[in-house]
Amino acid sequence: MTKPDYSVLVAQQREFFLSGATRPDSWRKAQLEAVKALFTENHDELCDALWKDLRRNVTDADLMDVAYCAKEADYALEHLAVWMEPHRAPMPLVFEPGHIRVRRDPLGVTLIIGAWNEPFMLTFGPLTAALAAGNTAVLKPSEVAASCAAAAARLVPKYFDPRAVAVVEGAVPETTALLEQQWDFIFFTGSPPVGKIIHQAAAKHLTPCVLELGGKNPTIVHSSAKLKVSARRIAYGRFMNSGHICTAPDHVLVWPEVKDEFVGHLIESIREFYGDDPQKSPDYGRVINRRNFDRLVGLIGSGKIAAGGKTDAAELYIAPTVLVDVSLDSPIMQEEVFGPILPVLEIESVEAVIKWVNERPSPLGLYVFAEGADVVERILDATSSGDAEVNDCAIHPLFPELPFGGVGNSGMGKYHGRWGFEAFTNARGVLYHSAKLDPGVRYPPYTKHTLERRITSALTP
């Protein structure tokens, strides 16, 4: 099999970028309008692709992928002028007349490697940031969500100049070949093990990266929490998209005295959301493929089934499942669940929660359900996570005002809204110094008098 060669594609995009065509705000706005048009004019086709890959209902398809991408582009359009404005800083007196500016310059030719669980959000969300920042981009959608990848490959050439945005379909060989090219920036969403491969490839060219990697997101339910509301929000965050969400609550740590009541509310919430037989619910999804189905089925035996547990390989169906009496060394506690199974464990104190979180890799999300601000702030102050939510979970990526991203094992770098614009740009400091005045205080020969004047002037803005 001939190894793919993407050198011509990258060279064409680099030539286009170096021409200066991507820098004007008019070009950037036109590309953002194209993103909006792609997702509004092809709404039904894109929703259909999500149904084929994930059995995603239209409401969730819009929330996480289709309408979401149009709104992300709209938000960038609304704020682009402010983002592009250079930041001013005060000039020390000794260097007057002059001024200081911090520009946000585009990085150049970028590679965006998406994920299958939210195949449009996790590919076109970063693309929106890249285009707002004045870059070109090559998109590598996940081959696992085959219908969505094909839709992206079919539609992108209709809305974008390939010198600015191109799609490469394929799997590991194609991704490996892409990583052999020299990029100015790489954006990857996926697992920590693959993130390490991406980072190693980028290091060969000292290419900067944003890595969105997920992890086991601990969800704390304190004895003071509103249990029914907590259960509804946790069930929603865990079982939406059949659990295929990197920000979903991975496991619950609940105070023993409220555990049974909380689990009862979880069971009620599942029934309220999906009926007595979730397999028949039009709002409940399926596992992406057989490999992931088999992996998840193997995790169900990690505890006692309090709800769900039913599986159907022919439909790639796993019922919304709640496990209790889960041991710490069980399989489900060793890896990110990334599916419709929620283990519930007991924990007895805030200090035990802090110890639990700090003994494990930093998660992408940390969720605290409690009514006492002292409990919440104590946990937040003593732990680390990419982001956090109080009395909710999994929804913070929907807010462009918030930086989104991991820390440590869950990733590096932030995006969404202005944070995405800044990720795809270089903060370039520029000192403008007039040649009309040139006081000798900065030059040798140095005397005590000139040194004192230099120090005083340097400290005076």
Task: Spot the catalytic one: 246, 336, 389, 393.
Answer: 246
If we measure between CA atoms, which residue out of 362, 334, 322 comes closest to residue 221? 322
Q: What is the DSSP string of 296-308?
A: HHHHHTTSEEEE-
Give bridge partners of residue 252 from the DSSP assignment: 219, 344
Give the side-chain half-sphere CA count within 13 A for 188: 26
If we measure between CA atoms, which residue out of 63, 50, 397 comes closest to residue 248? 397
Calpha distance 151→128 (Å, rounded): 18
Task: Spot the catalytic one: 72, 212, 336, 422.
Answer: 212
Quote the DSSP letter at residue 112. Answer: E
Is 212 a residue of the active site? yes
How open is the CA angle 130-131-132, to the nearest 5 degrees? 95
Calpha distance 48→62 (Å, rounded): 11
H or E stretch at 104: strand 98-106
Angle at which helix 25-41 crosses helix 146-159, to 10 degrees, equals 130
Is 118 a residue of the active site? no
Calpha distance 86→100 (Å, rounded): 10
Active site members: 212, 246
